[in-house]
Amino acid sequence: MDCKETLKNLWMLLDGEIQDKDQHEILDHLAHCWHCTDVKDSEERLKSLIKQKLEYKKAVPSELINAISQIVYGK
């Protein structure tokens, strides 16, 4: 698996929506590719940050939540 493929599957991996076989290939790639590991780490940080922020949901306007979700999840 190359960098392009790995990064394409990264979100699915972080969301736990990936097949065992693919997961193995991605982790294998991450083990020797600092670039993808770097991207994965920052995505993970971003995800936990968003999760933290969402816990304060009531204090945050829903338009902002939607805007962030759109940027992060592309939905």
Q: Kind and range of the H or E element at 67? A: helix 62-73
Residue-level length of the chain: 75
Using the minimum distance from each CB to Zn ion, give the nearer residue, 3 or 64.
3
The secondary structure of 36-50 as a DSSP string is HHHHHHHHHHHHHHH
Rule CB under 5 A: choose which of 14, 33, 46, 50 binds Zn ion: 33
- Is residue 3 involved in binding Zn ion (CB under 5 A)? yes
Using the minimum distance from each CB to Zn ion, give the nearer residue, 18 or 36.
36
- Is residue 26 involved in binding Zn ion (CB under 5 A)? no
Backbone angles phi, psi at 27, to 5 degrees: -60, -35
Provide the binding-site residues for Zn ion, judged by CB under 5 A: 3, 33, 35-36
